[in-house]
């Protein structure tokens, strides 16, 4: 396990609060999508929503740790709940989810030739958020396969969690 430090200006959060990330829910699990402005956060969310995901929030997401379950919970800030900006069209209203447990974080990076995405990563990466390690996936949002890669990664992590059992041991 490699806990990763802050990426490209993305702060590590030890408490609760808003972070600069869009978020969708896939199979009742939240996925934080992080990256600088113009990196494709909303574009990737829109394609995931088209594939059946549900919007949690666009551009900013409130996160907190649930003391009962220990999960990091993602919610939309009240001022932008159910709203999504689509570049070139404006702000639209969409159905949205609230209070979803975070299963993964995506860091949007440039193309595959720039070294930002390892072809065969040797160790998984994690984002430290609310004093929890969240699995981190690096993707290029503008690759046609980005939504599929994310869905496969979520399926693989869910399978690994079932194999490992509740204590995280195989």
Q: Where in the sequence numbering do the catalytic residues fall?
A: 20, 41, 59, 119
Tell me if 113 sits within 8 A of 39, measured CB to CB: no
Question: Strands 29-34 and 22-26, how do they pair?
Answer: antiparallel
Q: Which long-range contacts (CB under 8 A, 24 or more apart) does 159-163 make?
A: none
Q: Which ranges of 58-145 does DSSP label H, i.e. alpha helix?
A: none
For Cα atoms 68, 5, 145, give the angle at the middle one, nearest 5 degrees: 85
C-alpha neighbours within 13 Å on the C-beta side of residue 34: 24
Tell me if 125 sits within 8 A of 102, measured CB to CB: no
Specify the DSSP class assigned to residue 12.
P
């Amino acid at each position: 396990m490699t806990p990763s430090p802050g990426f490209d200006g993305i702060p590590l959060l030890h408490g609760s609060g808003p972070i600069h990330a869009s978020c969708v829910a896939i199979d009742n699990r939240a996925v934080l999508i992080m990256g600088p402005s113009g990196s494709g956060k909303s574009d990737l969310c829109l394609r995931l929503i088209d594939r059946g995901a549900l919007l949690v929030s666009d551009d900013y997401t409130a996160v907190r740790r649930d003391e009962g379950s220990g999960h990091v919970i993602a919610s939309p800030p009240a001022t932008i709940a159910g709203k999504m900006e689509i570049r070139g069209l404006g702000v639209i209203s969409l159905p949205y989810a609230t209070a979803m447990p975070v299963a993964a974080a995506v860091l949007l990076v440039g193309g595959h030739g720039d070294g930002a995405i390892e072809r065969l990563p040797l160790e998984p990466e994690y984002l430290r958020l609310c004093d929890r390690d969240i699995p981190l996936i690096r993707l290029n949002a503008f690759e046609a396969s980005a939504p599929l890669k994310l869905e496969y990664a979520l399926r693989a992590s869910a399978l690994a969690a079932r194999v490992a059992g509740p204590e995280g041991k195989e």
